[in-house]
Amino acid sequence: MNMKKEVSTVKQKPFFHPTFGSRPAQIVGRDQIIEQFLEGLYEPIGSRNRCTFLIGQRGMGKTALLLELADLARENDMIPAVVTAYKGMNEEIIETIQRNAAQILTKNGRQVQGFEVGAFGFSFGLTLSGANAGQAGFRTKLALLCDEMEKYNKGILLLVDETTNSDEVRQLGITYQHMIGENKNIAIVMAGLPQAVSSVLNDKVLTFLNRAEKVNLGPISLAEIKAYYVLAFRKEEIQISEDLLNEAVAATEGYPYLMQLIGYYLLRFAGTEKTVKPITVRRAIEAARHDMEENVFTPLLAPLSDTDLLFLKAMAVDGRRGSQMADIGARTGKNNSYLQPYRARLISTGIIEAPKKGKVCFTMPYLAEYLQKEVDEAFD
Ligand SMILES: Nc1ncnc2c1ncn2[C@@H]1O[C@H](COP(=O)(O)OP(=O)(O)OP(=O)(O)O)[C@@H](O)[C@H]1O
Ligand SMILES: [Mg+2]
């Protein structure tokens, strides 16, 4: 094998991917979660760690982690199926398993009958063919796929993004429970905003899911971000002083997207001199905040109603420390029962959260400052 040629043609992955929703070059700060998940795959069917909820606010890295777990599962004898929780999800689960099984099993050099992709979609394995495939329900199809995979010593891992309480998710939850009852080698990871996940867990039909492992995806630890920056700068042969490094790390606030953006701009602005100056750090933070406004805040706020915005601007007066509902009422001139549905909707969209009764705060760094720029003088 010509190793030399291989090395020279392999392009090194850039350290930072400053695109929201994009796959990072490396998952930072989630080692423990990943480890626990992988251990779960080797635990008995139905174990707590084989049914995981990834709970996190917007941009905390749910999708990024879900995709990483799907890849790792592949290397650990599982066929993954990543889907988004919307209508038609369960059909898509069946199709994705078949497609991924065909790809993974053929890649291993084995001839897999029944998993070829046909002109009219996917043939349904050896056990369920053509005509009756259409009539079988989700549960039957999933059970047959589990049995099919068992022949190749593979299990099935379902990964559901943007989980909300819907008929599809309820059907999936119930089906998962049946699969466990039938001792099928299946595991599941569901990712969602806190409010959406708690609605799933509180559903009467799905109470058994309360036994699942619940993982809260909070900010990434600053120490881990610093270590990643050090690694990136060293590899790129860029010099940065300890103080400036700390300043850049602190500005990320542990928010994954800001970590990507600030790192990216630091490398870019360091330029050919390959030294990070104080002005470089400030410019990088400013550019990152600008991107955050354009790519996260603008689209997030665009669909909101005037009253939603009024609510948020009334909160912005208090900045980061959070607001009492009573103060929002006084500033907007609306009473509490009028404001409640707005509060509930803003919580469910993941823009604000309620750390304790009567209080609300923003979930994302810099949103308060961004809205402050727009706050009417009337609130002053
Ligand atoms: N652990 C991580 N390490 C490095 N980068 C990360 C990590 N988690 C997320 N990112 C980066 O942060 C950004 C936001 O991540 P992601 O889209 O996964 O968030 P999310 O929780 O799915 O957000 P949403 O609720 O809006 O769907 C992406 O650019 C992603 O690459
Ligand atoms: Mg996501």
**What is the position in ligand 1's atom list of the atom closest to the CA of 66?**
18
Which of 260, 292, 301 has the most ligand 1 atoms within 8 A of CB, as the residue to mutate? Answer: 260
Rounded to whole angstroms, how far apart are CA atoms 341 and 24?
36
> What's residue 358's pLDDT?
93
Instruction: Assign 73 a pLDDT band (cuts: 50, 70, 90).
Output: very high
pLDDT band at 19 (very low <50, low <70, confident <90, very high): confident
CATH class of residue range 31-217: alpha beta
pLDDT at site 18: 86
Ion ligand 2 — residues with CB < 5 Å = 62-63
pLDDT over 90 at 104, yes or no:
no
DSSP 140-199: HHHHHHHHHHHTTT-EEEEEEES--S-HHHHHHHHHHHHHHHTT--EEEEEEE-HHHHHH
Cα(361)–Cα(218) distance, integer angstroms:
15
**Beta-carbon neighbour count of residue 28 at 10 Å?**
21
Minimal-distance CA residue to ligand 1 atom 6: 256
- Tell how far CA 97 is from the center of its chain: 20
Amino acid present at 82: V
Q: Report the pLDDT value the prediction gives residue 103, as an integer from 0 to 100.
A: 80
Q: Is the CB of 58 under 6 A from ligand 1?
A: yes
In this predicted model, what pLDDT tens digit does every residue of 115-173 receive, in sequence order?
Answer: 554 433 344 443 455 545 556 789 999 999 999 899 889 999 999 999 999 999 999 99
Distance 56 CA to ligand 2 centre (A): 9
Q: Which has the closest alpha carbon to 261: 252, 269, 250?
A: 252
Q: How confident is the model at residue 31 (pLDDT cuts 50, 70, 90)?
A: very high
Q: Of 344, 318, 348, which is closest to residue 328 (Cα–Cα)?
A: 318
Q: Which long-range CB contacts under 8 A does 134-140 form with residues at least 24 apart?
A: 138/90, 138/91, 138/93, 138/94, 138/171, 138/172, 138/175, 139/175, 139/178
What are the structure tokens assigned to 238, written together? 């860029």
With the most atoms of ligand 1 within 8 angstroms of its CB, the residue from 16, 17, 20 to mutate is 20
The model's pLDDT over 44-64, given as tens digits with 9 standing for 90+, comes to: 998 999 999 999 999 999 999
Q: Report, as an integer, the average pLDDT of 287-307.
A: 94
Tell me the domain boundaries of the chain.
31-217, 222-300, 304-379
Residue 256 near ligand 1, beta carbon < 6 Å: yes
Q: pTM for the whole thing? A: 0.88
Q: How many CB atoms lie within 10 A of CB 235?
A: 10
Half-sphere exposure (Cβ direction) of 303: Cα atoms closer than 13 Å: 7
pLDDT value at residue 329: 97
Report how far Cα 187 is from the mean position of its chain's Cα atoms. Answer: 18
Q: Are 102 and 112 in contact (CB under 8 A)?
A: yes
User: pLDDT value at position 158?
Assistant: 97
Q: Compute the distance between CA of residue 76 and CA of residue 182 in angstroms, rounded to an integer.
A: 22
Per-state percent for the chain, helix, strand, coil, to nearest 5: 55, 10, 30
Within 13 A of 349's CA, how many CA atoms are on the CB side? 18
Question: For residues 310-339, b (16+ Cβ closer than 10 Å) or e, as one string?
Answer: bbbbbbbbbeeebbebebbbebbebeeeeb
Q: Is the sign of the CA dihedral 102, 107, 111, 116 positive or negative?
A: positive
Q: Which tens digit of pLDDT belongs to each residue from 180-221?
A: 999 999 999 999 999 999 999 999 989 889 889 999 999 999
Contacts of 153 (CB under 8 A, 6+ apart): 77
Distance 28 CA to ligand 1 centre (A): 10
> What tokens does 210 get?
């309360």
- Tell me which residue of 249, 233, 288 sits closest to 15, measured CA to CA: 233
CATH of 304-379, one of 3.30.465.10, 3.90.190.10, 1.10.630.10, 1.10.10.10: 1.10.10.10
Where does 42-158 have alpha helices with state H?
Answer: 62-74, 89-107, 130-135, 138-150
State mean pLDDT over 241-266: 97
Write out the two tokens for 33. 């979660």
Convert the pLDDT of each residue in 328-354 to its tens digit.
999 999 999 999 999 999 999 999 999
Confidence of residue 4 (pLDDT cuts 50, 70, 90): very low
| Both tokens assigned to 196 | 């959406």
Q: Which amino acid is at 304?
A: L
Closest C-alpha among 79, 69, 94, 44 to residue 189? 69
Q: What average pLDDT does range 257-262 have in this prediction?
A: 96
Which ligand is closest in space to the CA of residue 221?
1
The CATH architecture assigned to 222-300 reads Orthogonal Bundle (1.10)
- Token digits for 82? 């990543």
Asked if the model's pLDDT at residue 5 lies above 50, the reply is: no
